[in-house]
Every structure is written in C-alpha cells, then in structure tokens.
Amino acid sequence: MSNARLSPSSGQVGRLSEAVSRRGAALSTSPCEACAVRHLTVCAALAEEELRHLSDIVSHVELAPSQCLFQESDEARSVYSVTAGTMKVYKLLPDGRCQVTGFLFPGDFLGLAHDETYAYSAEAVTHSALCSYPKSKLESLLKRFPQMEERLLGMAKHELMVAQEQMLLLGRKTAKERLASFLLMLSRAAARRGQNGNPVLVPMSRSDIGDYLGLTTETVSRSFTQLKRDRIISAESGNRIRLLDDEALQDLAEGA
C-alpha cells in the first residue's frame, strides 16, 4: 500500500529505440565478436560460427530510466542479455506490494521463462541497453549447439544459488544484515565486471533497495545511517558508498 512500484513516469510501457542494427550477416567478423560483455554472458561459450548465428537473430533495445521492458504475464516472445545499465525484475501483489527479485547488470540474462508468459516484470533502473533474441529462433539454435544449452543451464544453476541466498536474507536476516549483504553484492558485481568494487556505485533508489530487501525505504535509510555511524561505510557524494571495513561488513552480512 506504500511501496513505490510503478513510478510516475510509467505507463510508457515500450521501447525507446529498438534498432535492428544487424541484418546482413555477410560480414567476416560478426558484431557479437566485438561485444564488450561477451566474456560475461552466454556468448562466452560460443565459437565464431555460432556467434555469427546469434548475430543473425539479435536486435538491440535501449531503455530510459523506469521504462518497462516487459510485464508479468506478457507473452514471452524474447529473451534478453543486458549490455549496459542496470535493470530490475520484480513481482507485484494485487494491492501493490512489490518484491524486487533481482537487479541485473551487463552480462546478465533475462527472460528465461518456463511458461509461455513471463513470471515477472522487468524495468530499467538506469538508462540501459540489451540484446534481444526471439525465443523461438534461440531455441532452434540451442538444439543445434548443445554447449549453448549447457552454458544456459550453468547460468540457471547460478541464479538458483543466488535465489537461495536471497531467501535466507529475506527470511532470517535483520535490516542491518540485509543492507550489508546488499552492499557486498553490489561491490562484487562491480568487481566481476572489471569495475572498481570499493567506492561502490548504488544506482537504484532507496525504494528499489527496500523492495529488494523486503524493507521500507525508511528502514533502508535508517540502516544506512547506522552503518555510517558504526564507521563501516561512508557516503562520498550521494550514491557512491565507500566500504570502510570490509571484514565487519562481511561478518554482518553473514550474521556472525
């Protein structure tokens, strides 16, 4: 009844620009080969030939902050790979209560639906770019290249592990412990992408963080203040957070 969900700018459910930039696979090197996030994503498993097949079916999507990529129960026509920006995926209860089930960064995969429809909504947190693959065409590629499927299974397993960690967080951790876990997650995700993990950038709002951690914005804010008072973190300019005591933060996050 209170949590921010559809931001005021919503309603504009759609694409900012859906530039089909790839058509004509006669190039000797496919554009996917040059992809900056290739090593992070499914595409890492692929040989040059397979990449060319992917290039043939990919199109590109850009989203402005708070723009919606798809909504729960939309027909699942495409799967996506984030190449730039930050996305959030979330589920809603009829009365508006919102649970963000994950934040996605470059290299992350999105839209792997089990059924014919998506089981969650996806929205841009910051200005974002994605590769879009028609589900049907990707599925035929998967049949031809089993190691792509293997890679996908590996990613699904990893996501499951992360989801179980998050259940532990939501079911059993205190507000302070949740925020500590969240900051470490952000820091590690940045490091994995080759960015600096220590002054960690927090691109999402307090409300988004609350909806991710099962808390209210006020409690998130208070927990930030507590961590600052405990000299475990400090804020350098708004959403740049310096982790002052990594060990203390980890102990907190693990509930020790």
Q: Does 75 bind a second copy (CB under 8 A)?
A: no
3-state helix, strand, coil in the chain (%, to 5): 40, 20, 40
Q: Helices 48-57 and 135-144: crossing angle, nearest 10°?
A: 160
Which range in 22-30, 42-50, 74-82, 209-217 contacts DNA by CB under 7 A? Answer: 209-217
Residue 138 within binding range of DNA, rule CB under 7 A:
no
Q: With binding defined as CB under 7 A, does residue 90 bind DNA?
A: no
Q: Which residues contact 94 (CB under 8 A, 6 or more apart)?
A: none
183, 200 Cβ separation under 8 angstroms: yes
Residues in the chain: 256
- Which residue in the set 33, 216, 230, 250 belongs to the binding site for DNA (CB under 7 A)? 216
**Which region, judged by CB under 7 A, interacts with DNA, from 11-19, 49-57, 104-112, 233-241?**
233-241
Q: Which is nearer to DNA, 154 or 255 (CB)?
A: 255
Nearer to a second copy, 72 or 230 (CB): 72
Q: Are the beta carbons of 78 and 37 closer than 8 angstroms?
A: no
**Site membership for DNA, residue 100 (CB under 7 A):** no
SS3 state at 155: helix
Q: Per-residue contact track with DNA, 4 to 33, x per CB under 7 A?
A: x--xx-------------------------
What is the smallest separation between the CB atom of 223 and a second copy, expressed in angstroms?
15
Q: Does 207 bind DNA (CB under 7 A)?
A: yes
Among 101, 117, 195, 221, indicate the residue that binds DNA (CB under 7 A): 221
Cβ-contact 143, 82 below 8 angstroms: no
- Alpha-carbon dihedral sign for residues 81, 87, 92, 95: negative
Between CA 9 and CA 85 the distance in angstroms is: 18
* Cross-strand pairs, 133: 79
8 A C-beta contact, residue 252 and residue 177: yes
Name the residues that contact DNA, by CB under 7 A. 1-2, 4, 7-8, 174-176, 205-207, 214-222, 224-225, 235, 237-239
Residues that bind a second copy (CB under 8 A): 91, 93-95, 97-99, 101, 112-115, 119-120, 142-143, 146, 149-150, 152-154, 156-161, 163-168, 170-173, 211, 213-214, 254-256
